[in-house]
Amino acid sequence: MIRFKNGRVLDMNGSAEAEEKEVWVQDGKIAFVGLPSDQMIKSAVFEREYDLEGNLIMPSFKNAHTHSAMTFLRSYADDLPLQDWLFKQVFPMEAKLTGEDVYWFSKLAVLEYLTSGITASFDMYFELDDYFRANTECGFRTVMCGAISGDSSAVKRLEENYRRFNGISPLVTYRLGFHAEYTADYELMEGVAELAEKYKAPVSVHNSETQKEVAECIQKYGKTPAELFEALGIYNYGGAGFHCVHFSDNDMEIFKKRGVWAVTCPGSNSKLASGIAPICRMREKGVNIAVGTDGPASNNCLDMFREMFLMTALQKIDRADASACPADFVLNAAVKGSALAMGLDDCTELSEGSQADLIVIDLSQPNMQPENNIVKNLVYSGSKQNVKLTMCAGKVLYENGKFNVGEDPKRIYARCGELLRELKSRP
Ligand SMILES: [Zn+2]
Q: Is the pLDDT of residue 15 over 90?
A: no
Q: What's the CA-to-centroid distance between 335 and ligand 1, angstroms?
A: 19
Q: What's the CA-to-centroid distance between 66 and ligand 1, angstroms?
A: 6
Q: Is the pLDDT of residue 322 over 80?
A: yes
> β-pairing, 239-243 with 203-207?
parallel
Task: Please tell me the predicted confidence (pLDDT) of residue 76.
Answer: 87
pLDDT in tens, 223-259: 999 999 999 999 999 999 999 999 999 999 999 999 9
Q: What's the CA-to-centroid distance between 125 and ligand 1, angstroms?
A: 9
pLDDT in tens, 176-213: 999 999 999 999 999 999 999 999 999 999 999 999 99
Quickly count: other Cβ atoms within 10 Å of residue 316's Cβ.
Answer: 16
Task: Please tell me the predicted confidence (pLDDT) of residue 112.
Answer: 98
Q: What's the CA-to-centroid distance between 207 and ligand 1, angstroms?
A: 9
Q: What angle do CA 232, 159, 97 make, to 5 degrees?
A: 105
Q: Is the pLDDT of residue 402 over 80?
A: yes
Question: Percent of the chain at pLDDT above 90?
Answer: 94
Q: What's the CA-to-centroid distance between 338 and ligand 1, angstroms?
A: 15
Q: Is the pLDDT of residue 16 over 80?
A: no
Task: Please tell me the predicted confidence (pLDDT) of residue 267.
Answer: 98
Q: What's the CA-to-centroid distance between 217 and ligand 1, angstroms?
A: 18
Whole-model pTM: value is: 0.97
Q: What is the mean pLDDT of the chain?
A: 96
Q: What's the CA-to-centroid distance between 45 and ligand 1, angstroms?
A: 45
Q: What's the CA-to-centroid distance between 331 and ligand 1, angstroms?
A: 21
Q: What's the CA-to-centroid distance between 292 and ligand 1, angstroms?
A: 9
Gap between the Cα atoms of 12 and 292, Å rounded: 19
List CB contacts of 234: < 8 A, sequence separation 6 or more. 189, 192, 193, 196, 203, 205
pLDDT in tens, 60-114: 999 999 999 999 999 888 888 877 888 888 889 999 999 999 999 999 999 999 9
Q: What's the CA-to-centroid distance between 297 and ligand 1, angstroms?
A: 10
